[in-house]
Each structure stands twice: as C-alpha cells, then as structure tokens.
Amino acid sequence: MTPYQTPFGLIGRKLGHSISPQIHAALGNPQYSLYELEPDELPVFLADPRLKALNVTIPYKIDVIPLCASLDPLAEAIGSVNTLVRQPDGTWRGYNTDAYGLRCMMRAGGLSFDGAHVLVLGNGGVSQTIQAVARLDGCASLDVLDLSGTQYSYADLPRFFASTTLIVNATPVGMYPKAGVSLVDLTQFPALRGVAEVIYNPARTALLLQAKQLGIPCAGGLTMLVAQAKQAAEHFFGDPIDDGKIAEIGAQMQRDAENIVLIGMPGSGKTVIGQALGSLTGRTVIDLDAEIERQAGKPIPAIFAESGEAGFRAVETEVCRAQSANRGVILVTGGGIVTRPENAAPLRSNGRIYQICRPVEQLSREGRPLSVGADLNEMAAKRMPLYRALADCQIENDRTPEAAAEMIWRDFYAYTCAEWSEFEHAGNP
C-alpha cells in the first residue's frame, strides 16, 4: 500500500501515468498525491483520519460506495463515486463529478445524448456514469457491451451496426502504452453521428483518429478529466471555481502533453528548426534518423547499403511508433516518413504536425542516400501530396531557423487555446 503522503489525492490500482496532481496543483492544491491500492487495502487506507478528500478511479468507483456513510443524490442515482470528502464526524461522503465532466466533454465535441441511439463500450464505474447521464439527458436507446456480457458481449456487436448513432468508449482499450487499437470499426455504423472517448493518453486514440478521418464529430477524455477535477476541487474546499479555469488548465495540459512533429522533404531544414524550437521551448528534441542510427549502431547510408530502402523503412516505422509515445517532445522525422501510411497514426495520436517547406533547388543532399543523384523534383512531386495530407500546418523555411521556430510555437500556442475556447467564459453545462 502506498504510504500516506498528503491529505488529498487519487486512489486507484495503477496510477503511473496520471496527470491529476498537475491539474489539482493548477487548481490551487499542491497537496495532492497518487495512492495505488489493492482492493483489500481500501478499508484500512480510508480509515486514516489524516485524509481529507480523495478522487477515485479504476477500479474502485463502485467499491468505495459501501465505505461511504452518505452519498450525494447524483452519485446515489448513478451508482458510481469518483470523489470522497471527509465529513465533520469523520465519515466519508461520496460524490460523482464525472457526470459534470462528461457533459462538458460532450458539449465541447458538439455531441448530445438527446435523441441518440447510444452504444457504450464497457460496464465499469465510468460506464455507470455515462449510462445514467445518457438516460437523464434523453437518449432514445442505450445498449452496453462488455467482456462479461452483463447486457451484451462484443460478439453481439453486429446487431447494433445499423441503429447506433453515438458510441462512447468507457474501456481502457486504446490507452497508452497499448495505443493504436480499437474495439470497433466505425465504417460498420452507417448512422453514426458522434464518438466520445474517456481516454486522454494518447490525445487521439485509434477510435478518435478514425472518427476524424471519417468526418464524424468526436470528443476526447482530457476535457472530461479537467472538468471533473474542477468540480471535485469545489467539493474538496467548498468554494466555487469559475469555468474559465477549465480552459486555462486544459490548454496548458494539452500544450505540455502534445508533441510537435516536423515533416518535410530531405534537406528542408527540419533538423536545424527542431534544434531552434528546442532552445525556444525547452523541450526535448528527438531526431528519428539519429535514433535509428543509435539503435542500429551504424549510419543510415550503411543501413541502406546492407538492407535496402525496405529494410530501413521497416526500422523507421518501429522507431516512429516507439518515439511517438513520448509526451511533450519535438519529433524531427526523416523525409520519407510519409511513404508508409502506417506511420501516420502514431504521429497523429499525440502530436500536431508541421510541414517544413523549402524550394526544391535549395534542398541539401548531403548525407541523404535517396537524395544523392536523385531527381528531387520527381521525389517532391510524389511526396508533396503526402506531406500536405499529413500536416496540420505548413511553415515556409525562407528566413532563419529561429524565425521558423517562433512561427511554429505561436501556432501551437494558438491551437491549444482554440481547442478550449468553449470554456473561456463561466457558465455550467
């Protein structure tokens, strides 16, 4: 059992990647710790009188209910508790702030339960909240799939293809470190009008990436996490917090977590701009080509000579997938990263992608096996559509590396602020 550290914190079974302490520190409470507990440790831990208030996550949102002397009416109606507050008599009162967070997430994504035919994946504690809010907010129908088949199992999925208009993933499937997988293929749902995802790491799961690709409105879990924490902090201390804090904290959390990815033709200046951007922001710069050389123990020209381009590209894809799992770094990619479609999802999952543009006649060929002796105009003709399709923003490298780095950082800052504009002004959903 994790020993006592502070009077406030989060209890759960595996909490290694939680960002709740950072969120609560931004809300004004630095005395917030992570407490990893086994199921049989819950009663003893909660009996510690030094604890004042706690958040609850997987898998204890239902398990803590018998340990509460009282429940807020909403938590009682939902049957799930994610916030505990010590009462003057020493007992615990349970609250559910996930409902508030869920409604904020839905609103931010332009989604609504009203009139929707909802399919929920998973039947744990957060699923109980989703089911209750869906009913309260007027869904037309609600079906739940889970491994145990409490209502339906995943083998029953085909029966919902035609009718489902809203899918909500309430499972950890697709969460880091097992990112890149999804329980469903959205192309099988012809009536689908929205997708909601409670996972926040990575920022864009395989489910959300497919929704975006298909043009289906969608919402990710960071909004829910920040908003529920804001309401939990209100219960902790009894003071209201303006909704504008959701925008302020959410944008900063997103800014800290998302990668900046540089793509572009060989010799376009990605490396020097990446270095300038690292100096400007203090972020770690990861050069994928350098990482390939480090792992292979040999320079890239030698890899090409021994394994050919196909062998090099296979290694590049492995390195791309591994390094894209980082958070808050600058990823400098090789010019050919776009030639394999499977590299797109890892880069997009937690990054904003910038194409570095430079006229072909100004591209450097030095140390680039495919550029030496190649027709760069022909290479550009093939690759430019791929760069444009992958990039979120294009940056002209027509001045100094420092100027390009400043343009990228200004865009990245504006982008993260815009993502949270829904909560810039107070007002509850």
pLDDT, tens digit (0-9, with 9 covering 90-100), for 90-139: 999 999 999 999 999 999 999 999 999 999 999 988 999 999 999 999 99
Does residue 206 fall inside a structural domain?
yes
Helices (H), 79-151: 98-108, 125-136
Residue by residue, DSSP assigns 144-212 as EE-TT-SSB-GGGGGGGTTT--EEEE-SSTT-TTS-S--S--GGG-TT--EEEE---SSSS-HHHHHHH
Confidence band for 57, pLDDT divided at 50, 70 and 90: very high
162 with 267, same domain: the answer is no
91 with 107, same domain: the answer is no
Mean pLDDT for 26-50 is 97
| Crossing angle of helices 221-237 and 244-257, rounded to 10° | 130
Radius of gyration of the chain (CA): 24
Residue 375 is predicted with a pLDDT of 80
73 with 89, same domain: the answer is yes
385 with 310, same domain: the answer is yes
Does residue 2 fall inside a structural domain?
no
Domain termination residue (choose one: 96, 123, 151): 96
375 with 267, same domain: the answer is yes
Does residue 234 fall inside a structural domain?
no
Domain termination residue (choose one: 68, 96, 124): 96
60 with 115, same domain: the answer is no
pLDDT, tens digit (0-9, with 9 covering 90-100), for 380-393: 999 999 999 999 99
Res. 294: pLDDT tops 70: yes
Does residue 127 fall inside a structural domain?
yes
CATH number reported for the structural domain that contains residue 113 in this entry = 3.40.50.720
114 with 203, same domain: the answer is yes
402 with 269, same domain: the answer is yes
106 with 211, same domain: the answer is yes
73 with 156, same domain: the answer is no
Token readout for 271 is 């490396």
Domain termination residue (choose one: 59, 77, 96): 96
What is the separation, in whole angstroms, between the first and last Cα of the chain?
Answer: 38
Per the structure, the count of domains in the chain is 3
The domain of 87 spans 8-96
Does residue 247 fall inside a structural domain?
no
272 with 326, same domain: the answer is yes
CB-CB contact of 225 with 242 (8 Å): no
